[in-house]
Amino acid sequence: MVPAGTYDFTLTAGENDTFTLSYVRKGAPEIKGDTNGDYVVNIKDATYIQKAIAGLVDLDLSVGDLDGNGVIDINDVTLLQKYLAKLVDESALKNPPQGESEFF
């Protein structure tokens, strides 16, 4: 997942020709449960939370704390799996407490 920010790409052709392209990413995905930022909620998102818990990837609390308890843990994975199995609906996926921003 590309972090929020502005990215400039410059292409230089010869000594006098340059072209600059700016790309702006405006923040975390808006889709509840889309933890890996691919705009699809699926089992890959549950795996991404597990990787974050194991310290293998970074995951912002605002994206990964699906039960809203202020931490990213196995309960978030379980909740997402229940959502994918249609045992709970999207309303079960909550927003995390305000003021929190990082997993580690």
Per-residue pLDDT tens listing for the chain (104 residues) = 566 677 888 888 888 888 888 877 766 546 788 998 888 899 999 999 999 999 999 998 888 999 989 999 999 999 999 999 999 988 888 754 444 433 32
Residue 76 lies in a domain: yes
- In a domain? residue 15: no
The verdict on residue 42 lying in a domain is: yes
Compute CA 104 distance to the chain's CA centroid, rounded to the nearest angstrom: 14
Instruction: Assess if residue 71 is contained within a domain.
Output: yes
User: What does the pLDDT read at residue 98?
Assistant: 42
Question: How far is it, in rounded angstroms, from Cα 45 to Cα 59?
Answer: 11
Q: What is the pLDDT of residue 53?
A: 96
Contacts of 7 (CB under 8 A, 6+ apart): 22, 23, 24, 25
pTM exceeds cut of 0.75: no
The token pair that represents 53 in the structure block: 């818990």
pLDDT value at position 75? 94
Please indicate, yes or no, if residue 104 is contained in any of the structural domains: no
Q: How many domains does the chain have?
A: 1
**74 occurs within a structural domain:** yes
Domain with residue 74: its CATH number is 1.10.1330.10
Domain enclosing residue 51, as ranges? 30-92
Residue 51 lies in a domain: yes
Residue 66 lies in a domain: yes
